[in-house]
């Protein structure tokens, strides 16, 4: 964690609005990416992001400058996402990513780009169909960029369980992608 961010977190936890707003600007893209994996569509992902920040502001005094900020924020977002899942039983697996205007920046052929898009779309759908605990582990690891120990702390499960969830999630995803290729 950078010194500048430590200072921002300290000031934000003391209620300094400009410091908190700077944290919003820094962490919203990563938070959206994480939440998007857990939300069925963009609208809900946006709503969750906004609600997570409002809750973070409300509980800003609990945020410790000695610890990384994002896992704390991710825990808030995760709790909100879980609440939404509970409300929506059985799980809604709607809305696979549908934007086709997000082509990779590298110079690849149209065919390769379309193939990559399709692979990402399939992967997104398969992730949405994973068991919730595996999906959370994948989102926190790959979209939130958290360490295994941080995931364990955020979700409140043992480190070995995190490893198991991630391994099984990857095995499941790999099997489904291989089946598509076959």
Partner 1 sequence: MPESLERLLREGPMDPMPARLPARVLQRLAGVRAAERRRRWLLDATLAAVTLGGVLILWPQLVQIGEQASGGSSAGAEVWLAQAATAPAQTVLETLTAAIEWTGRLTDSLGIAGLAGVILLTIPLFAWLRRLMPEMEEGALA
Between 65 and 97, CB nearer to partner 1 = 97
Closest approach of partner 1 to the CB of residue 171, in Å:
10
Closest approach of partner 1 to the CB of residue 141, in Å:
8
Closest approach of partner 1 to the CB of residue 90, in Å:
22
Residue with token string 């790999």: 174
- Reduce the DSSP state of residue 100 to 3 states and report it: coil
Nearest alpha-carbon partner for 81 in 44, 56, 54: 44
Nearest alpha-carbon partner for 52 in 22, 67, 32, 26: 32
d(CA 81, CA 132) in angstroms, rounded, equals 11
- Reduce the DSSP state of residue 88 to 3 states and report it: coil
Between 49 and 146, CB nearer to partner 1 = 49
Contacts with partner 1, residue ranges (CB under 8 A): 17, 20-21, 24-25, 28-29, 32-33, 36-37, 42, 46, 49-50, 53-59, 61-62, 72, 75-76, 79-80, 96-99, 102, 117, 119-121, 123-124, 138, 142-143, 156, 170, 173-174, 177-178, 180-181
Between 90 and 156, CB nearer to partner 1 = 156
CB atoms within 10 A of CB 79: 13
Closest approach of partner 1 to the CB of residue 79, in Å:
5
Residue 108: φ, ψ to 5°: -120, 165
């Amino acid at each position: 964690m950078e010194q500048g961010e430590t200072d921002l977190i300290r000031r934000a936890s003391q209620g300094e609005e400009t410091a908190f707003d700077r944290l919003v600007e820094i962490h919203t893209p990563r938070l959206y990416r994480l939440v998007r994996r857990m939300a069925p569509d963009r609208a809900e992902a946006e709503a969750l992001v906004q609600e997570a920040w409002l809750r973070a502001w409300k509980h800003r005094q609990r945020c410790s400058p000695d610890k990384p900020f994002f896992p704390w924020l991710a825990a808030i977002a995760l709790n909100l996402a879980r609440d939404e899942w509970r409300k929506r039983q059985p799980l809604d697996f709607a809305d696979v990513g549908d934007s086709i205007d997000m082509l990779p920046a590298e110079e690849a052929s149209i065919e390769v780009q379309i193939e990559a898009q399709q692979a990402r779309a399939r992967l997104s759908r398969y992730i949405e169909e994973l068991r919730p605990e595996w999906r959370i582990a994948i989102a926190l690891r790959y979209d939130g960029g958290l360490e295994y120990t941080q995931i364990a702390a955020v979700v409140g499960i043992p480190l070995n369980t995190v490893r198991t969830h991630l391994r099984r999630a990857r095995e499941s995803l790999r099997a489904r992608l291989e089946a598509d290729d076959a």
